[in-house]
Each structure stands twice: as C-alpha cells, then as structure tokens.
Amino acid sequence: MEVMVAISITAIIGVGAVQLLSNISEASRNTDIRSEQLAGLQRFNQVITRDLEQFINRSIRDEYGDTQPSLLLDNGDYLLEFTRAGWRNSPVANDPRSTLQRVAYRIEPLDSDECESARLRLEQWGETDPKGDCLVRYFWPHLDRSTDIEVQSQVVLEQVVSLTIELTAETAPTEVGAQPERTNYDSWPPVSDPNKPEYPIAMRWQIELPRLGFIERLWLLAHDKADT
C-alpha cells in the first residue's frame, strides 16, 4: 500500500511538471512570436514613413504610355501607388539614376510567390498556423515604365488581417478669409469640379494584426498644389 501511494504521488508530480513545462514552452513561443511581430511592425513603420514623408507630386507614364497621376488610391492594380523622392544612389555609381521612385503597396495571399519570405520568417518564429495575408511593397527602377521593365517587390509586414487607407484632401478657399474645405476619400483621384481642385494633405492607415489588434497611423503629405 505504501509503495502504491508513493507511485501515485510521483505520477501526480510528474504530470504536473510536464504540464508546467508545456505551459512555459508555449508562453515562451508566444513571447517570441510577439517580439518578432513588434520588430516587423517597427520595420513596416520605418518603410511606410520614409516613403510617405517623401511623397512628391510627379505624374508618370505607365507601360501603355498612359499618364498616371502622382498618387493613386484603390484605383488600378495596387491598393496604393505614388511617386516619392529621396531614392539614394550608390556613392560609387558611375551612372547615377534618378532619385525619384515609383512605389506601390498591395495585400497578397500568404501562399503567393510574393509572400515566400514572409512564410519562411513565420516558420522560423514557430508560427505553425499563420492567419491573414502579407503586405508587399513594389517599386520600379524607372518612373516612366515600358513593357520590358520588371517590377520588384519586398515584404514589409508578414501578417495582416485587414488594411484600410483613407486620404484627406483639401480644396483651396475661393473667398478671402474662408477656411479650406476638407474631405475624406477611400479612393483617389476623385471625380471633382475642375474649378475647385482638391489636393491630398494627409493619409490614414488602419491595420489589423493577429494578436496585436487594430493599429492606426496618420501621415501628413506634402503637395505643391500643381496639377501633375
């Protein structure tokens, strides 16, 4: 009887120890995933901020020869597309290129070719059942495109549940002392009165991430108010 009691106590302690180790291991894995998510969110914020803060009002010609405005929102092949300045050249380049760059953003399925690097990183994190999609940044080597120019891509955020972008535009006042009119848009450019042109002044991103929930960021846009 004493042996059976001792065995039972040992078994109970063993089961408790296994459960405790399992909980510690799961907590450690969740902490690692959360840490990697936060690091990815910081990289995402740096990339988006660098692009939007250097937005420039410069239209382009696409691969079909059609003129495209300096900024497109939910109006074309990408969720967001615009021209930015500040694309640095290599200090040892013999033939410097333009410092202007055309960039675009789009949500892609995790199982797509564009999201391969995101899948690999999620596997390294120990994320066995990833949810959502990935956010991909596209850019072209030249502003005015031709049919033989290939777009390049980079993943800027591994997991995205949803993404909403809203643009705030301003109409210059027609009377002295009047306040400018401001309107929010979920697509750009709008169909507006040519006698009352509108110019983008700010952009709001609302993004939902697994475990982290909703995050909102607002960026101000510089616009020279020229029609290009």
The structural domains of the chain, with segments of one domain joined by +, span: 2-158
How much is the pTM? 0.81
What is the C-alpha separation between 75 and 91, in angstroms, rounded?
A: 36
Which of the two residues, 140 and 94, has the higher pLDDT score? Answer: 140
Higher pLDDT, 202 or 34: 202
pLDDT of residue 124: 81
Residue 174: pLDDT band (50, 70, 90) is low
Taking the alpha carbons at both ends of the chain, their separation in whole angstroms is 91
> Does 20 score more than 60 pLDDT?
no
Say if residue 145's pLDDT is above 60: yes
**Selection from 190, 184, 78, 177 nearest residue 137 by Cα:** 78
Residue found under tokens 């929930």:
213
pLDDT per position as a tens digit, 151-162:
999 999 988 999
Q: What is the architecture, at CATH level 2, of domain 2-158?
A: Roll (3.10)
Tell me how far apart the alpha carbons of residues 198 and 169 are, in angstroms, rounded to a whole number.
Answer: 6
Among candidate residues 47, 100, 44, 107, the one with its CA nearest the CA of residue 74: 107
Confidence at residue 74, expressed as pLDDT on a 0 to 100 scale: 94
Summarised one tens digit per residue, pLDDT across range 89-137 is 766 666 667 789 999 999 999 989 999 998 888 888 777 778 789 999 9
The reported pLDDT for the residue numbered 122 is: 84
- Contact indicator for 143, 100 with CB cutoff of 8 Å: yes
Contacts of 113 (CB under 8 A, 6+ apart): none
Is omega for the bond preceding 200 within 30 degrees of 0, making it cis? no
Question: Strand 71-73 vs strand 80-84: parallel, antiparallel, or unpaired?
Answer: antiparallel
Name the burial class of residue 44, with classes exposed (0-12), middle (13-18) and buried (19+) by CB atoms within 10 angstroms of its CB. Answer: buried
Could you tell me the strand order of the sheet in which 162-171 lies?
Answer: 181-185, 162-171, 198-209, 213-220
Give the chain's radius of gyration (CA, Å): 25
Q: What is the pLDDT of residues 23-78, one digit of tens each?
A: 555 555 566 666 677 777 888 999 999 999 999 999 999 888 889 999 999 988 99
